[in-house]
Amino acid sequence: MSTNMVRNNPAVMAAIQKNILEHISIMAQEQVQMEFKEEMAQMQQMQQMAAMDPQIQQQLQMLNNQVEARKAVLIAEMTEEFMKEETKITSQMDSDPLLKLKSREVDLRAMENERKRDADETKADFDRAKLMQSRELAEDKMDQNEELAELRAGVSLAKKNNANIN
């Protein structure tokens, strides 16, 4: 949890925390099984007889509730211990000047990358606009050339007609 890769990646941090909480649950289950070894064996026997006797069903439910209550207490204690350790680790990271410097460096690099990306987008937009403008100019010039060619052809025909008439 104290590595930069984990600290800077919330998805990885969440996966690690989820895994730790799963381990806490498993540890609590194992501890409850050790503490209630006799009761667990008794519960297995009672389950077989519970179908016939409602009183045994009640006793079985009470034992099960005790086991689950103890498990919940263990999970709460272990989770609290984990939270304290996590806070200790993260507070150490926050006070470490080298980690702060590295973190700042990562932030600056991210800001620089974003600035470059924005500049590239702006340049691409500008280039696109220049291309469109030059295309429009080329089209206008072609239209103008066609008009001039038509005018010249008209003048040439008019001169020929005048020459033929004389």
Q: Of 58, 57, 56, 65, which Cα lies nearest the Cα of 36? A: 65
Is the separation of the CB atoms in 63 and 43 below 8 Å? yes
Lookup result for tokens 């998805």 = 11
Lookup result for tokens 């937009």 = 125
Lookup result for tokens 């220049």 = 130
CB contact burial 51-62 (16+ within 10 A = b; e otherwise):
eeeeebeebbee
Once rounded to an integer, what is the mean pLDDT over residues 12-30?
92
Extract the tokens encoding 13. Answer: 């941090």
Once rounded to an integer, what is the mean pLDDT over residues 142-147?
95
The predicted-structure confidence for 76-130, as pLDDT tens digits, reads as follows 999 999 999 888 877 765 566 666 778 788 889 999 999 999 999 999 999 999 9
CA–CA distance, 59 with 166 (Å, rounded to integer): 133
How many percent of the chain have pLDDT more than 70? 95
CA–CA distance, 107 with 158 (Å, rounded to integer): 76
Q: Is the dihedral of CA 155, 159, 165, 166 positive or negative?
A: positive
Phi-psi region of 53 (alpha: psi -120 to 50; beta: other; left: phi over 0): beta
Domain ranges of the chain: 4-95, 100-166
